[in-house]
């Protein structure tokens, strides 16, 4: 029987009006009790609001940026209540610690013997005569409902057969290598409780290819096929003591179950164990598993050497850091350096700058560089592409949305100017100014930072002669611009003072090769030298 309950914010302690910073689930998604639904942030901590029960998300009435307090309803959850008994109002959620429950199941009653029962293989759908590849039980084992009894393997999938009763195993009637079908006996159990027969859950569709890590819309992480956290040891993986959903989660995250210590009954690996394992690696508290081995930076107690001041990273820094690292690790970066002669361009800009200012537009060199990039991206469409998620093809974008790195007090953000190919230099400069101001005030909306097909990072207003910008993956290239300077350039008979703009073009070498990169910056240089074409004033 289905029952819908409100999802209510549990007791948040001293906190009130806390900001929702992430929505972790979508409507229609199936969640388990304690799965995080949303993440909220106070000035002191970030915390997940857990699901009060197993079920399906019926509705969600909060968005990122909303403020919530204890008792607020943030959506509904539809549960299959089955044999469960309601003992408190369903709207009362567990506290953040998740120590109490609103539902009491028959597990709460004292165990009563249901006598000896035969454990059988349930309906296997289209499969018949499947091989037993693992036996997880032995005589004398005490098992719970949903504990895995055996793992079966067909030519398409591996699946766990979970227990439909709890009790003590009296005898095991199968061994590895046996062929079984629906109804085959697996063992005899001295049962203590009965429950409806659970479904057989598939652990994987393909036996050898773990699915790629999932990405959420809110987190535009690199879409390229990235290496798993570790190479999965299939033999060891199949022997690990874990439920199908835990195996599924492990495969999704590229976690080798062999390396995870289970904290459940009989060392069974739980969802929480997988999450803790991944968290420990990502936060550097545990060494990365062999295969993805990233050497750890040594942990130093700086206070031993002098006075220190510890300041928390800003939210933007916490978000951008891992993304930059993901790009740096996953993309083979190469940077092509070049100099572009912008003597004529700058002379014209100086003439146009004043009148533009009167119209409220700051006509900086960056607007011209953006306009020039449009021409270069049209000439070299690969630079405006991305690798497909499976890494098998290139996605060419017919649009030209340019991101630009903006330095703000909170950290680095990348606002996006859309359809730059349809705008003139003044429109680009105006939008640059507006988005830069919003960025500095921390007022950019998420949509204003999404959809870039290529990014420019300009340090020209600050200084420097060259740098190596990190590609804003899953884009495949980024243009770094440093400060233009007057340099002596040989014109065939003498050295001439020319204003040279340094370009640092970093690219994903899987997609763009060195010759293309050099052609790209050479072409860009030619376009920047043709100021009439950039301004659309050519005759």
Contact residues for ligand CAO, defined by CB under 6 A: 364-366, 404-407, 412, 432, 436, 457-461, 469, 481, 483-484, 501
Instruction: Locate 481 and state its tokens.
Output: 């611009």
Residue closer to ligand CAO, measured from CB, 103 or 366? 366
- Active site (catalytic) residues: 509
Residue closer to ligand CAO, measured from CB, 254 or 525? 525
Residue 452 C-beta: closest distance to ligand CAO, Å = 14
Instruction: Locate 484 and state its tokens.
Output: 């233009």
Residue 107 C-beta: closest distance to ligand CAO, Å = 54
Alpha helices, DSSP H only, in 266-415?
271-282, 315-330, 343-358, 365-379
Instruction: Locate 482 and state its tokens.
Output: 């440093």
Give the β-pairing of 402-404 and 454-458.
parallel
Residue 426 C-beta: closest distance to ligand CAO, Å = 13
Q: Which residue number places its CB atom closest to ligand CAO?
A: 460
Cβ atoms of residues 256 and 289 within 8 Å: yes
| Cα–Cα distance list, 56 to 26, 32, 116, 196 (Å) | 9, 9, 35, 19
Residue 496 C-beta: closest distance to ligand CAO, Å = 19
Residue 401 C-beta: closest distance to ligand CAO, Å = 16
Residue 193 C-beta: closest distance to ligand CAO, Å = 60
Cβ atoms of residues 342 and 365 within 8 Å: yes
Residue closer to ligand CAO, measured from CB, 225 or 526? 526
Whose CA is closest to 174, among 141, 136, 117?
A: 136
399-402 long-range Cβ contacts below 8 angstroms, 24+ apart: 399/451, 399/453, 400/374, 400/453, 400/454, 401/451, 401/452, 401/453, 402/370, 402/373, 402/374, 402/452, 402/453, 402/454, 402/455, 402/456
Give the β-pairing of 416-417 and 402-404.
antiparallel
- Tally of CB atoms within 10 A around 108: 11
SS3 assignment, position 475: coil
Helix 514-529 and helix 365-379: axis angle, to 10°?
130
Residue closer to ligand CAO, measured from CB, 23 or 405? 405
Cβ atoms of residues 11 and 95 within 8 Å: yes
Q: How far is it, in rounded angstroms, from Cα 182 to Cα 199?
A: 12
Residue closer to ligand CAO, measured from CB, 253 or 470? 470
Backbone dihedral angles phi then psi of residue 24, each to the nearest 5 degrees: -95, -15
Residue closer to ligand CAO, measured from CB, 19 or 407? 407
Q: How far is it, in rounded angstroms, from Cα 515 to Cα 524?
A: 14
Residue 457 C-beta: closest distance to ligand CAO, Å = 4
Q: How far is it, in rounded angstroms, from Cα 529 to Cα 537?
A: 14
Residue 424 C-beta: closest distance to ligand CAO, Å = 16
Burial of residue 482 (CB within 10 Å: 0-12, 13-18, 19+) is buried
Residue closer to ligand CAO, measured from CB, 40 or 414? 414
Residue closer to ligand CAO, measured from CB, 149 or 363? 363
């Amino acid at each position: 029987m289905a029952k819908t309950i409100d999802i209510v914010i549990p007791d948040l302690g001293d906190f009130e009006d806390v900001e929702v910073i992430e929505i972790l689930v979508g409507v229609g998604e199936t969640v388990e009790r304690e799965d995080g639904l949303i993440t909220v942030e106070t000035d002191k901590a970030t915390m997940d609001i857990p699901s009060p029960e197993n079920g399906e998300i019926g509705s969600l009435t909060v968005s990122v940026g909303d403020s919530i307090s204890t008792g607020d309803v943030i959506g509904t959850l539809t549960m299959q209540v089955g044999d469960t008994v309601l003992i408190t109002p369903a709207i009362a959620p567990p506290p953040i610690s998740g120590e109490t429950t609103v539902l009491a199941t028959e597990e709460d009653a004292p165990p009563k013997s249901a006598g000896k029962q035969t454990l059988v293989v349930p309906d296997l759908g289209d499969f018949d005569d499947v091989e037993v590849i693992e036996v997880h039980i032995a005589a004398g084992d005490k098992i719970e409902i949903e504990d895995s009894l055996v793992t079966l393997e067909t030519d398409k999938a591996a699946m766990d057969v979970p227990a439909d009763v709890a009790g003590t195993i009296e005898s095991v009637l199968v061994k590895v290598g046996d062929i079984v079908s629906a109804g085959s006996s697996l063992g005899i159990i001295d049962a203590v409780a009965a429950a409806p027969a659970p479904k057989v859950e598939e652990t994987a569709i393909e036996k050898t290819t773990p699915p790629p890590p999932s990405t959420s819309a809110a987190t535009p992480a690199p879409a390229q096929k990235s290496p798993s956290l570790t190479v999965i040891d299939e033999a060891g993986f199949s022997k690990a003591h874990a439920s199908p959903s835990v195996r599924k989660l492990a495969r999704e995250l590229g976690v080798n179950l062999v390396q995870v210590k289970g904290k459940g009954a009989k060392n069974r690996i739980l969802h929480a164990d997988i999450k803790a394992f991944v968290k420990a690696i990502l936060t550097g508290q545990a060494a990365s598993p062999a295969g993805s081995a990233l050497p750890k930076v040594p942990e130093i107690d700086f206070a031993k050497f002098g006075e220190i001041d510890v300041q928390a990273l800003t939210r933007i820094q916490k978000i951008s850091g891992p993304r930059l690292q993901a790009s740096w690790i996953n993309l083979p970066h190469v940077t092509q350096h070049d100099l572009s002669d912008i003597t004529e361009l700058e002379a014209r800009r100086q003439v146009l700058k004043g009148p533009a200012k009167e119209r409220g537009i700051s006509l900086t060199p960056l607007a011209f560089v953006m306009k020039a990039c449009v021409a270069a991206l049209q000439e070299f469409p690969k630079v405006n592409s991305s690798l497909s998620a499976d890494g098998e093809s290139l996605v060419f974008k017919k649009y030209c949305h340019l991101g630009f790195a903006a330095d703000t007090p909170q950290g680095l953000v990348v606002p996006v100017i859309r359809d730059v190919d349809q705008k003139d230099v003044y429109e680009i400069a105006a939008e640059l100014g507006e988005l830069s101001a919003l960025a500095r005030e921390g007022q950019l909306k998420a949509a204003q930072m999404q959809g870039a097909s290529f990014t420019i990072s300009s340090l020209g207003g600050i200084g420097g002669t060259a740098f190596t910008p990190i590609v804003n993956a899953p884009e495949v290239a980024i243009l770094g611009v440093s400060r233009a300077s007057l340099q002596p350039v040989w014109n065939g008979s003498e050295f001439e003072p020319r204003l040279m703009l340094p370009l640092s073009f970093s690219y994903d070498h899987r997609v763009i090769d060195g010759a293309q990169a050099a052609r790209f910056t050479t072409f860009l240089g030619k376009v920047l030298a043709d100021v009439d074409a950039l301004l659309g004033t050519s005759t």
